[in-house]
Structure 1
Amino acid sequence: MHPLHTCLLFHLLMYLGRSAATINGELAPENSMLYMASVQNSKGHLCGGFLISEDFVLTAAYCDDGITHVVLGTHNLKSVNDDNKISIKEKYKHESYEKVTTGNDIMLLKLSKKVSLNGRVQTIPLPTSGMNNQDDCQVAGWGAIETDGPAVDDLRVVDVSIINLEVCTQVWGRLPDNVICAGGYGTDKGFCRGDGGGPLVCNGKAVGVVSFNIGGKYPDVPNVYTDVSKYLPWICSIICSP
């Protein structure tokens, strides 16, 4: 992307982050990614999320748009019943979050009850340190599978590669602090509309939260995630409390 365009594009991110899903992904095997959560409002699926404890889901702060409940334990959003739906008791948006363009795009959702971990529902561990550019990573969600396409009912997953942060910053022109770049930019794989809040999973750990990319000709720029490792003290301050 031409560097003269990067500044203007940056100021469009708040809109485009909401309008951007798993491009060129495949159906996730039924026995995989059992930590995935569909974060929903009264109209249905809005964002992704992931279960990190029996009663907390991690997602993106920008997903706070009338959300009322999460769906766990199914890859198919048409196969939802009262057992799958769990209401949200409390939302903990990062206190420094203002908008996607300024970073801190992360939010914890406290569920109304603890869920039973079983063959359909599991938690995913968080990282203990920063990223390795060679890590094998995936992103998953119920978002669109093509630019401007509709969201899907079946969970899809796609392999993505980590992009060096210096390269990512040069391409974007400016980035918030505490982010990871992966997918897009020279590949035909990444996230899109409806995948926001879902996890970037590397070596079995949720290292990132889907935050933003850019609409239009996909993929002109790298996809951007909130770096979970930078928020571990904040997460623990909430979920580790008595």
Structure 2
Amino acid sequence: LKKRITMVRLGVNSIKRSQKDKSVQVQKVLMHYPHPNYDSKKDVHDLQLLKLHRAKESKNVQYLPLANVIPDPKEGTKCVVAGWGAVEIQNPETSDVLRSADVAVFERKTCNSPKYYNSKITRDMVCAGTKGKKTQDTWTGDSGGPLMCKGVQVGITSFGIANKPGVYTFLSKEHIAWIKNTMRKSEFF
């Protein structure tokens, strides 16, 4: 929600090569639909829909089904995140290629401890990352990317702090209802 997006590229694996790749779909963003209860100070409801002209499914562009209810992922659930963000804390330059990382869900109680986010994590958020010396997570430039657990999108990259688990907007029952209602009202399809 921090930056106004005007164009998107679908089916991209390399930004540099995408300009010559005929299978890449370049779409103009027709409308932005930020969540009406988004609060940048608390980072709650960090969710925005983009209306595109007409994306076409292809070998490189697939739709993800949106469930009516997504169970709250349990601690330790193995998940995958993806994005174009920076890969090093010291270097904020974004990646040319789409990258992914394996992460695991942290219990909200753990994420709300003083060691991590000190009571900032709500039930509409999910924490995920890795522990130990080799940490993997999302970083600067990955916002808006998916948090996929067991083949289902359960969250959207929101924010994080170095050496702490990433925080994702959880696709709660209320968020899913807002998404479906917004799509219906705006004639997305």
TM-score normalised by structure 2 residue count: 0.85
Q: 5 Å matches for 1:115-134?
A: 115-127=55-67, 128-133=69-74, 134=76
Which position in structure 2 is the counterpart of 1:174? 119
What are the Cα deviations for residues 172-192 of structure 1, in whole angstroms up to 9, with x where unaligned? 112143100000554511011
Amino acid at match of 1:179: M
What are the Cα deviations for residues 110-161 of structure 1, in whole angstroms up to 9, with x where unaligned? 00x2111111110122342222324320001111111032211111111000
Which position in structure 1 is the counterpart of 2:11? 73
Which position in structure 2 is the counterpart of 1:44? none
Cα gap change, 1:185/1:104 in structure 2, threshold over 3 Å: closer, same or farther? farther
Q: 2:98 aligns with which of 133, 148, 155?
A: 155
Instruction: Say what the alpha-carbon RMSD is for the aligned residues.
Output: 1.9
Q: Distance in 2 between matches of 1:209 and 1:160?
A: 14
Which residues of structure 1 form unaligned runs of 5+? 1-60
Amino acid at match of 1:67: I
Which position in structure 1 is the counterpart of 2:48? 107
Identity of aligned residues (%): 33
Which residues of structure 2 form unaligned runs of 5+? none
Aligned length in residues? 175
**Matching of residue 232 in structure 1 with residue 173 in structure 2:** no
Q: Distance in 2 between matches of 1:67 and 1:84?
A: 16
Alpha-carbon distance, 1:98 to partner: 2.6
8 Å CA contact 2:111–2:127 kept in 1: the answer is: yes
Amino acid at match of 1:98: D
Q: Distance in 2 between matches of 1:93 and 1:153?
A: 27
8 Å CA contact 1:94–1:107 kept in 2: the answer is: yes
Q: Distance in 1 between matches of 2:60 and 2:41?
A: 32
8 Å CA contact 1:102–1:176 kept in 2: the answer is: no
User: Greater relative contact order: 1 or 2 (C-alpha under 8 angstroms, separation 6 or more)?
Assistant: 1
Which position in structure 1 is the counterpart of 2:85? 143
Alpha-carbon distance, 1:203 to partner: 1.2
Q: Which runs of 4+ in 1 moved over 6 A?
A: none
8 Å CA contact 2:82–2:98 kept in 1: the answer is: yes
Q: Secondary structure at the match of 2:104?
A: strand
8 Å CA contact 1:213–1:223 kept in 2: the answer is: yes
Alpha-carbon distance, 1:84 to partner: 2.4
TM-score normalised by structure 1 residue count: 0.67
Cα gap change, 1:224/1:185 in structure 2, threshold over 3 Å: closer, same or farther? farther
Q: Secondary structure at the match of 2:126?
A: strand
